[in-house]
Structure 1
Amino acid sequence: MALDFQRKIPASFERVRGNEFGYNAKQVDQFLQRARVALETPKAAIHAVTSADVRSVSFDPVKGGYAAAVVDAALDRLEDAFARRERDELIAAKGEDAWLREIGSLSGILRGRLHRPDGERFRRPSKKKARSYNILDVDNLCYDLIGYLEEDKPLSVDNVRRVVFRPAVGKDGYEETQVDAFLDRVVELMAAID
């Protein structure tokens, strides 16, 4: 698993032009080094790294930094590697039934929100001019997720990671932070299943 990950992650990443913003190269390199150690030799790692850590990591924008799309793709592969290891460790420690219960529990939580009525799946921002996500776009993704979870329709975890919703303003949309938190859990579930 670790060797497969190493083959897919370049030693350094493509950089954006000097006047454009990209990810802080030093921060990216430090995180990836820490993640590599945690993935290859978890007992020797000073800091544990989980798939959730990879999913939530962020880097400061700097001029001439690493191209975000390239780093994001590498982070997706890294997150998948950690998710596979976490699944395998859970199965080895507690058995496949424990893993299935965990997946079932998370799936049940997510389904509860997915089956809410259109336009009512997430809260609306409390501030009038707050940025929000287009309700129709979010609800359409929810239908795709129902198809994936309940009807075995194909849907890639990368499609969920890269989804872009049209912007809305205030109560005309869903609150961004709540939708983002929900999608993090969806990615967690999909990475554990696939």
Structure 2
Amino acid sequence: MALDIHRQIPASFERVQRSEYGYNAKQVDQFLQRARVSLESPHDAAEPINSSDVRAVSFDPVKGGYSAAVVDAALDRLEDAFARRERDELIAASGEEAWLREIGKLSGILRGRLHRHDGERFRRPAKNKARSYNTADVDRLCHELVAYLEHDKPLSVDSVRRAVFRPETGRDGYEEAQVDAFLDRVIELMAAID
């Protein structure tokens, strides 16, 4: 099933001022070309891309590059398109029950961490000077996620993608890498559900 990538990604992006930093335009364009092939003709893709690849992609900062906010918004739409296709392919190949089992398994893993006590959901950095996330900010988002998953409270996947936590230093906060990895899985689940 081919999806119209032109509805997901504009032909070109606005650039920031020459003195400001944005995303490397060549890297963005190359990635999006690979994404176009993967989305429109997946069997022709030399290097197939999936929703997790879109979520994980990063670009070098360069002066006068593409506006990060505009590219990020387009990548979010692209990730959602890949997630919908992946869901549809799983359902077509294995049935809706298989998709529901996958969703249930991932949801169960995430809920295990979400139900931990405030201040205990994630590791603390091993190094005293390491950057970390404010525990109260992360815990607040975790409460919203529990309400979304268990009580059908509205929460958009974009609000999780754009979550910002106040910085902490060392053991005063949660380890950034672990929180980021967890939120990637949350986004994966929400994109598959919505």
* TM-score normalised per structure 2: 0.98
Q: Deviations over 1:21-79 (max 9, x none)?
A: 10000000000011011000101111111000000000000000000000000000000
Residue in structure 1 matched with residue 64 of structure 2 by the alignment: 64
- Corresponding residue for 1:120? 120
1:7: Cα distance to partner? 2.6
User: 1:101-140 residue pairs with structure 2 within 5 A?
Assistant: 101-140=101-140
Q: Which amino acid aligns with 2:56?
A: S
Q: Using the alignment, how far apart are the partners of 1:10 and 1:104 within structure 2?
A: 35
Where do residues 15-26 of structure 1 align in structure 2 (5 Å cutoff)?
15-26=15-26
Computed over aligned residues only, the root mean square deviation of the Cα atoms, in angstroms, reads 0.8
Identity of aligned residues (%): 78
- Measured in 1, the distance between the counterparts of 2:131 and 2:82 equals 33
Q: Which residues in structure 2 correspond to 1:32-111 (within 5 Å)?
A: 32-111=32-111
Shift of 1:8: 3.9
Q: TM-score, normalised by structure 1?
A: 0.98
Counterpart residue type for residue 43 of structure 2: K
1: CA distance, partners of 2:131 / 2:53? 26
Helix, strand or coil for the counterpart of 2:62?
A: strand
**Is 2:8–2:81's contact at 8 Å kept on the other side of the alignment?**
no
Distance in 2, Cα, partners of 1:45 & 1:82 = 14
Q: Deviations over 1:134-175 (max 9, x none)?
A: 000000000000000000000000000000000011110000
Counterpart-to-counterpart distance in 1, 2:166 and 2:44: 44
Match of 1:160 in 2: 160
Distance 1:6 1:174 in 2: 39
Structure 2 distance, partners of 1:165, 1:177, is: 13
Q: Secondary structure at the match of 1:132?
A: strand
Number of residues paired by the alignment? 193
In structure 1, stretches of 5+ residues that fail to align are none
In 2: Cα distance, 1:7 partner to 1:57 partner: 20
Are the equivalent residues in 1 in contact too, given 2:8–2:78 (CA < 8 A)? no
Aligned partners of 2:71, 2:148: CA distance in 1, in Å? 27
Contact 2:23–2:59 (CA<8 Å) still a contact in 1? yes
Match of 2:74, SS? helix
How far 1:2 sits from its partner (Å)? 2.0
CA shift at 1:6, angstroms?
0.8
Question: 1:9: how far off?
Answer: 1.8
